[in-house]
Every structure is written in structure tokens, then in C-alpha cells.
Amino acid sequence: MKIKLLLSASFIVCISSFISLHAKDKTFIYCSEGSPSSFNPQLATDGTTFNATIPVYDKLVDFKVGTTLVEPSLAKEKPKISVDGLTYTFYLRNDVHWHTTKYFKPTRNFNADDVLFTFDRQRKKDHPYHLVNGGTYEYFNSMGMGELIKDIIKVDDYTVKFILTKPEAPFLANLAMDFASILSKEYGDYLIKIGKKEHIDTEPIGTGPFIFKRYTKDTIIRYEVNKDYFEGRSPFDQLVFSITPDASVRYQKLKVGECHFAAYPSPTDLNAIKKDKNLRVMEQEGLNVGYLAMNVDKKPFDNRLIRQAINHALDKKSYITAIYLGNARVAKNPIPPSMWSYNDEIKDYEYNPERAKKLLKEAGYPKGFETKLWVLPVSRPYNPQGKKMGEMMQSDLAKIGIKATLVQYDWPTYLEKSKNGEHELLQMGWTGDNGDPDNFLYTNLSCDAKTGGANRARWCNTQFDEKLIAAKKTDKLDKRIVEYKEAQKIFHDEAPWVTLAHSKVSVAMSNKVVGYKIDPFGRDRFYGVDLQE
Amino acid sequence: MFRYLSQRIVVLLIAFFGITIIAFSLIRLAPGDPITLLLGERSVSEELRKEMTANLGFDKPLITQYFLFIYQGLQGDLGTSVITKRPVVDEFFQRLPATLELGIIALLFAITVGMPFGICAAVKRNSFFDYFTSFTSLAGYSMPIFWWGLVLIIIFSVHIHILPVSGRMNLMYDIEPITGFMLIDVWLRGEGMPAFIDVLKHLILPGIVMGTLPLAVITRMTRSSMLEILKEDYIRTAHAKGLTNMRVIGIHALRNALIPVITVIGLAFGSIITGAILTETIFSWPGIGRWLVLSVTQRDYPVIQGGIVIIASMIIMINILVDTTYAIVNPKMRKQT
């Protein structure tokens, strides 16, 4: 009996000491959708990895939370840009501490050496870290940063100059992207000394609001608050990412209070979440566009009248209801409406099969023709159900005499073949990287992009290209707006795509969460967020 | 016995090399490469793409890549994941304990419930109990795993609140894995009984979901195997000798009925290592099934080929063990060879 009592007492003491030990900490739990591929955003292209690295790192400039506006972060102020647009001078903060962890204890603050270290690793083949852990830097390369940056000069410990090969107005927005997160040179040198270079991407040292503590594979990522954060301490002691791949399970965990915030709620759960009094949903138009590209290198899509006919033939409103479940709006331009320079004066091609038939007749195809329609094999925010949309398109096209056969490939094959221009009609889309119209228009529709393969319509229009290049060369916003608006007009008349939809981005959270601002790039940022008890 | 086993080992070794060739070549026959996937909708110049491919070592001739893979593999190096940039062997063995822990629990559940039910159904043939067992095992066999998992979560986690939704343990416990088996690590880290109970609670729902299919198969196999044996003359003789029912069934019948059941358990264990994808996804279980499937969709060549080779080796070992067990359980097999 005595032993039983003793055991029960020690059991209770054990539990209560455990509860009191952990109850002191204010912890925020985020149910994320997957495992990060690395803890260095320079090596990644996926949002999951970016979300996991955002708490740890800072950049010279960053997007103001919830907007696409660029503001200084590790730089004290916006850079000084030379008149020819080729030199950007950054003045750096001198009060930024590097994280102190179990695996590294810094001896100095952030300075210009770290900026050089970060960018040189990605652009210089002879840098000691260039080939560490793969060395492919997909984002840095696909944004053309390697060719764009001619040199980076350290003027003094807190001044850095970027010299460009050509004027490029979106350059500043590029520096606010995740691949431009600043890494510690001192940490890099230390890892070389102890012969563990590859740890730089798995055991991160940053300057951000949270310090990386531990990652248990496919299960949990733990961060501790950075008490010395230069913009002020976060109210949380701990930030935890609970990796939960299934959207329905994330919803159930949110419901029972096992997490405060859930990534990517399933569209089918949104109504139920909205009705739950303990939960809420935040929605915003995403920075994306879903489109149908018509390969102008192939007949009859080289004929503008055919492309316009297809624009009139597709009932886009019906796709919004059936495919996006109402969580999107019809697209009339290749850039989303929330983006500056959006040309709202353009009148979209109305759904009008009769007009489409007339255009086909005018183009010399009164009875229509046969073609192949490639359907998107993966679910993307800009097109969640490619096959279903393909079936609806097939039926719309049949009404004007175009017999479309649906073609399906797996995602890598789809990317590879469409890059080579093997398709005729192709579902594709784009999610913005830096909030600049150039990132939509030049990346997907320029003559350069045709050579690179990202221009899936393979449409190269000199007039359109000139507008985009003129807009790149000036940092005057008014002039850029004019150029982009005119470019959108040319795009509309030439109709290389059927612009389909701009989808909404949704997040689900507990009612206790305050201060969260939805990010137009789809990232989840928890600095500035709190829990209301 | 020695000849029997050595024959089996030679056959399995040939199979192993066949698997390395298939694992290596099949994924490379599919169009698209890791760089294309990492870039997604983006693109880079051809020159830059070649440089990126070379940095990953995929520019060498295929035959050279294969021999490098075998040569390094024999030294325990199965390459580095294109996605995580970590050694495949480390990635695999970090995930294996989670899969094994869940697999063992699932199999224990399937054996401890399935065998008694199968035996009783055979002994009470054509009774209500027999029909009930047949019906439930058929239902278990045809149950969609995803649906079954969500139903259990909604009942036990959301409505009754007695079991957690997913994961391996409560997030309040900050335990750094040592062995990777959480039931052991909680003791090694000195967290004690509350943490152990918490881990067990996290194992119940995924264990049931993962064990449902083997449970159905083991029940049906035990029942049919027992029915065959119970018709044999020596069973009638044992009854005629006046042995108790318990002794006849437990010693004479069960021992002989076990052979096909052991085969099924061996196969179930193999499928648990590879086929846990759905259970792992629903319950956010950090095992190897999901990891491998993701690697195929990401064209992560080193993970696909390395993962398949390790799993193939493990299944080969299990097969050798099963064959050895046959020989021990059934003396006839030893004599045949």
C-alpha cells in the first residue's frame, strides 16, 4: 500500500513539474504542409523551405509585411542608385547580432563581409562554398542574377556597392527575395576550420527574430526567440513547426487546438472553418495567374484570329465556380489586379461562341480543326484541377468545331516537353516572386524567355519586347507604369494566352491569433504575430 | 538444410543485382530531370543548365554512373539527395526507426488479434462467430486506408478527445532522438512514464490503421489453414487418443497451420516497410514510405536508387529468415532438400 502511495505521489509530482516547466513558455505552433529541403533559402525553390528559413534570416531589403513594397531591413535605408542605374550603394546597420547557438558562438556583428559572402557563394565558381551541397542555386540563376551582377565592392565595414552589367529596375525587388538572405561569413570560416562546410545549410546561423534550435526529420522544427533581435523581441518564447502533410488532418489539429495556424487549408474545408466560432480564415488575392498558352510556332495558332477565337470560346466564369470553388477571379491581363501598372482599361474577351465561330471562318477554318490540349498534371494555386478544367475546355472548344484531344504527362515530362515547344495548347501558370510586373511579363512573354523555354506560347513580339526593356531601364515608376500598360494592350490584341484566373490565397488560424498579415507571395511570417489569451 | 539455405541465398543475391540495375535505369528512362523539377515553371540558359547538371554529377555517361553507384554503394555510400543535399544512407536510417516502430506495433496488433480470431473461426466453423470474422476481415481487407484513418481521427481525437490527431508525441516534450525509437528514447532522455504513455497514445491510431490490412489477411489465412489441418487424419487420431481440445488445436493443428501464416507475416512486414505511405501521410509519421514516394515525384535519383537498394536488401534478409523459419518449423522441408 505504501509503495503504491509513494509511486502515485511521485507520478503526480513528475507530471506537475513537467507542466510547470513547460507552461512558462509562450509557444506558437504552426501546422506546416511539408519538410524543408534545406535551411538555406539559396538552395531552395519551394515555399515550404522558405517558410522554414524566414524566421532565421534577414535580407538587405525586405517586402513590407502583407505588401509587395520593398523596405530596408539589414540596410539602414534604401540604396543610393547612380544616374546610369548601374550602381546600388547600401549603407548597413551596425547593431545586428548573429545568433548564438550550441554549435556556433559569433564574435562580431553583421557587416559588409557577410553580404559579399552571401552573394559570392552563389555567383563565383571559385568560392569555397560554391559547390557545397549541390551548388545549383536555381532561384539566383533563374532570376538572371549571375549575369546581372558585375561586381560587389566592400567600401567599408558598413557600406557595400553592387555594380550591374545593365540597368535593371526590378533588381531591388530581387534583393528582397529569399535567395538573398544574408549568411554569416564568420560561421562559414569556422566551418571550414573544423572541416564541416556542409553544415552551413543544415544548422543555420542568421540574424532573424528566431534562432534555429532543432529539426526532427519530417516531424518538428523548433525555434527559440532571438531576444536581441534588432527590430524587437517577438512575444513568443518558442516557435514550433509541426509538419502535417495532409490538409484535412491540419484542419482537425487546428480544431482540437494542437496548432494555432494551418498552412494551405483545403478549399473543401474552408466553409466549415469559417463556421467554427473558434477559428477563422483570412483570404487575399494571390500574386498569380493561370493561363492557356497557344504555341504560335505551330499552325494554326500562328494566326492571331484563331487565338482570339479561342479566347472567345472559353467560358472562364464557369471554371471559377467549378475548378476554384469560387476562390478566384477571372483574369483579363497577364498580371494580377493587385500589382501596380495593372491595365484595368482593357476589356476582356467576352464568352461568345458565335463571335468565335466568325473569327474561325475569317481565319479560313469554318469547320474548325483538331488539336491537342495538354492538361496540368499537378495541383497549383493558379490551377488546382488541370484535368477537370481540360474537360470543360474540351467541351467549350467542341461548341465552335475545335476537336481537342486531352494530353497528360507527369510533371517533369510536362515541363521538359513544353519547354521544348512540343505542345499546341497548354495549361500553365505563374506565381510572382518579387511583386514586379517584369517578373510576370519579361519572365514569361519576352523573346529571351522563348529561348530559355519559360515563354510557353513561344510568342516573340518586337514591339512588346521594346516596352518591357524600356521599363527595365528606368527607375521612374510613372514611366514604367506607362510602358507596362501599353505592353498589356499589345498582349491583349495579340492574344498569345487565354488568361484564365487569379486565385485567392487562404490561411486558417485559431481566433487567438492576432497581428497576422497575409503575404501576397504565399509565405507565412510569424514575426509581429501574438496570441490573445 | 545447409544446401537448402545456400541455394536460397544465391537466388536472392542474383535478384539483388537485378534490382540495382532496374532501380538505376528505370527512373532515368523517364523524361525530366531534377534540375527541370527544381526550376519548375522557370528556366535558365542551356549553358547554365549544363553547369548545374555537372555540379550534381549527372553529366557522366550512364554506365559510369552505374558502376560508381555500385562501387560507392559497396563502401556504404549511396550518394547524396539532390533535394536535401544530405547522404541517402543518413536520410534513410533517420527515418527507418519511425517506420519500424509503427510497423512492429501494427504487426503485433495484427498477429495478436488476427491469429486467435482465425483459430476460433476455424474451430467454430459456420457459426455466427465464423461469419462475423469472415465479414469483418473482408471489410478490413477492402477498407480505403485514407478514409479509415480520418474516421478514427474524427471519432477518437476530435469527438471523444482521448487520442491525439497525429505526430509521434506531444510537442511539449522536446526530446532529441537517440535511437529514433521514441518508446526507448523517452527513457534514455529521462522523461519517464508520462512521456512513454504519450508516445504509446500516439501509436494507437496509426498502428490500428496500418495493421488493419495485415490483420484481415492473417485472420483469413489462419482460418483457412486451420480448416485444412483440422480435416487431417492425425488430428482425428489425436482426438481418438483422448487428448484435450486445447492440446489438439494448440500443439498438433496450430504448429502445422503456421507455415502459410508465417509467409503472410513475412510478406506483411515487407509491405509495412514500403507500403506505409498513406498511413504516414495521414498521421504525419516521419517514415520512409512517404520519403520514397516524394523522391520519385522529385526525380531525386540518388534517393530512389539508394532507398530501393536498402529496402531490397532488407526484404532479402527477411526472406532468408522466413525460409530458415520454415525449415525449423517444418522438418519435412529440411528432408526434402
In a domain, B269, yes or no: yes
Comparing CA positions, the residue from B155, B164, B151 lying closest to residue B201 is B164
* CB within 8 Å: A244 and B284: yes
- The pTM for the full model equals 0.82
Nearest to B311 by CA among B256, B261, B284, B271: B271
Residue B264: inside a domain: yes
Amino acid symbol at B156: F
SS3 A489: helix
Q: What cell numbers appear for A339 in the block?
A: 500589382
Q: Which domain holds residue B284?
A: 88-297
Among the partner residues B82, B83, B284, nearest to A245 by beta-carbon distance:
B284
Closest Cβ–Cβ partner in A11, A249, A416 for B284: A249
Are the C-beta atoms of A311 and A294 separated by less than 8 Å? no
- From residue A273, alpha-carbon distances to A279, A320, A342 in Å are 6, 21, 33
pLDDT, mean over chain B:
84
Do B157 and A11 make contact, defined as CB atoms within 8 angstroms?
no
- B302 lies in a domain? no
Is residue B46 in some structural domain? Answer: no
Would you place residue A468 in the very low, low, confident or very high pLDDT band (cuts 50, 70, 90)? Answer: very high
What's the one-letter identity of residue A483? E
Question: Which of A471, A467, A469 lies closest to A491 in space, CA to CA?
Answer: A467
Q: Tell me, what's the pLDDT at B298? A: 76
Supply φ then ψ for residue B288, to 5 degrees: -90, -20
Instruction: Check residue A12 and give its pLDDT.
Output: 42
Measure CB to CB from residue B39 to each of A45, A201, A249 and give the nearest one.
A45
d(CA B337, CA B327): 10
Task: Show contacts of A443-449: CB within 8 Å, 24+ apart.
Answer: A443/B42, A444/A334, A445/A334, A445/A491, A445/A496, A449/B43
Using DSSP, state whether A187 is helix, strand or coil.
Answer: helix
The residue of chain A nearest to residue B93, with distances taken between CA atoms, is: A217
Contact between B2 and B337 under an 8 Å Cβ cutoff? The reply is no
Does B46 or A466 have the greater pLDDT score?
A466
Confidence at residue B176, expressed as pLDDT on a 0 to 100 scale: 83
One-letter amino acid at A17 equals S
Which residue, chain included where needed, has cell 522441408?
Answer: B333
Assess if residue B263 is contained within a domain. Answer: yes
Q: Give the per-residue pLDDT at A20.
A: 38
Contact A136 B52 (CB under 8 A): yes
pLDDT of residue A24: 60
Higher pLDDT, A276 or B56: A276
- The answer to whether position B213 is within a domain reads yes
Give the side-chain half-sphere CA count within 13 A for A368: 17
Closest partner CB to B165 (pick from A11, A38, A252): A252
Contact yes or no for B150 and A27 at CB 8 A: no
The domain that holds B117 is classified in CATH as: 1.10.3720.10
Which residue of A249, A269, A374, A444 to mutate against B (max B Cβ within 10 Å)? A249
- Find chain B residues with C-beta within 8 A of A415's C-beta: 32, 36-37, 39-41
Helix, strand or coil, per DSSP, at residue A169: coil
What is the C-alpha separation between A54 and A63, in angstroms, rounded? Answer: 12
Amino acid at B70: I
pLDDT number for residue A10: 45
Please indicate, yes or no, if residue B36 is contained in any of the structural domains.
no
pLDDT of residue B334: 59
Q: Which residue of B has its CA nearest to A241?
A: B171
List the grid coordinates of A483.
510602358
| Encoded amino acid at B302, one letter | P
B36 pLDDT band, cuts 50/70/90, is confident
Q: Measure the CA–CA gap between A438 and A435, rounded to whole angstroms.
A: 9
Which cell goes with B293? 514516394
Q: Is the pLDDT of residue B77 over 50?
A: yes
What per-residue confidence (pLDDT) applies to B335?
Answer: 57
pLDDT for the residue A4: 47
DSSP single-letter state for residue A132: G
Using a 10 angstrom Cβ sphere, with 0-12 exposed, 13-18 middle and 19 or more buried, the burial of residue A103 is middle
| A429 neighbors A288 (Cβ within 8 angstroms) | yes
Give pLDDT tens digits for A81-99: 999 999 999 999 999 999 9
Question: Facing residues of A514 across strands?
Answer: A530
Among all chains, which residue has been given the C-alpha cell 557595400?
A160
Tell me which chain B residue has its CA closest to the CA of residue A428: B41
Q: What is the mean pLDDT of residues B262-272?
A: 77
Rounded average pLDDT over B213-240: 88
pLDDT at B190 over 90: no
- Do the Cβ atoms of B30 and A410 come within 8 Å? yes
Chain A residue whose CA is closest to B277: A245
Q: What is the number of domains present in chain B? A: 1
Answer yes or no: is pLDDT of B34 > 80.
no
Amino acid at B334: R
The Cα–Cα gap between B291 and B299 comes to 12
> Taking Cα atoms as reference points, which of B261, B308, B248 lies closest to residue B20?
B308
Chain B nearest-CA distance from A257, in A, is: 10
> In this structure, are residues A389 and A424 in contact, taking their beta carbons and an 8 Å threshold?
no
- pLDDT at residue A331 tops 90: yes
Cross-chain residue pair A252–B55, CB shorter than 8 Å = no
Radius of gyration of chain A (CA): 26
DSSP conformation class of A96: P
pLDDT of residue B78: 87
B273 confidence band (pLDDT: 50, 70, 90): low
Angle at the Cα of B285 from the Cα atoms of B282 and B290, rounded to 5 degrees:
80
Average pLDDT, whole number, for chain A?
91
Report the pLDDT value the prediction gives residue B274, as an integer from 0 to 100. Answer: 61
- What is this model's ipTM? 0.76
Cα distance from B239 to chain A (closest Cα, Å)? 48
Q: What pLDDT does residue A458 have?
A: 95
User: What does the pLDDT read at residue A356?
Assistant: 96
The mean per-residue pLDDT over the stretch B303-310 comes to 88
Beta bridge mates, A281: A508
pLDDT at A16: 41
Reduced 3-state DSSP string for chain B: CHHHHHHHHHHHHHHHHHHHHHHHHHHHHCCCCHHHHHHCCCCCCHHHHHHHHHHHCCCCCHHHHHHHHHHHHHCCCCCECCCCCCEHHHHHHHHHHHHHHHHHHHHHHHHHHHHHHHHHHHHCCCCHHHHHHHHHHHHHHHCCHHHHHHHHHHHHHHHCCCCCCCCCCCCCCCCCCCCCCHHHHHHHCCCHHHHHHHHHHHHHHHHHHHHHHHHHHHHHHHHHHHHHHHCCHHHHHHHHCCCCHHHHHHHHHHHHHHHHHHHHHHHHHHHHHHCCHHHHHHCCCCCHHHHHHHHHHCCCHHHHHHHHHHHHHHHHHHHHHHHHHHHHHCHHHHHHC
Q: Which of A92-96, A327-331, B269-273, B297-301 has the lowest mean pLDDT?
A: B269-273
| Nearest residue on chain A to B33, alpha-carbon basis | A412
Closest CA to A256 of B163, B146, B168: B163
What does R_g of chain B's alpha carbons equal in angstroms? 24
Give the three-state DSSP class for A282.
strand
Identify residue A15 by its one-letter amino acid code. Answer: I
A contacts of B33 (beta carbons < 8 Å)? 412, 416
CA atoms within 13 A on the CB side of A275: 5
Residues 6+ apart with CB under 8 A from A403: A368, A369, A370, A371, A397
Residue A8 pLDDT > 60: no
Question: How many CB atoms lie under 10 A from the CB of residue A2?
Answer: 6
**Chain B residues near residue A37 by CB distance under 8 angstroms:** 83-85
Q: What is each CA distance from A214 to A223, A239, B75, B95, B179, in whole angstroms? A: 7, 11, 30, 16, 16
Residue B63 domain flag: no
Per-residue pLDDT tens over the stretch A124-170: 989 999 988 877 788 888 788 988 999 999 999 999 999 999 999 99
Judged on CB neighbours under 10 Å (0-12, 13-18, 19+), A323 is buried
Q: Are A309 and A363 in contact (CB under 8 A)?
A: yes
Q: What is the pLDDT of residue A57?
A: 97
How confident is the model over B125-153, as a mean pLDDT? 88
Determine the pLDDT at residue B167: 87
Mind telling me how many Å the CA of A13 is from chain B's nearest CA? 11
Per-residue pLDDT band for B1 (boundaries 50, 70, 90) equals low
Option in B41, B55, B154 nearest A134 (CB):
B55
CA distance A22 to chain B (A): 7
pLDDT at A158: 97
d(CA A427, CA A380): 11
Higher pLDDT, B134 or B260: B134
Tell me, what's the pLDDT at A2? 46
| Position B100, amino acid | L
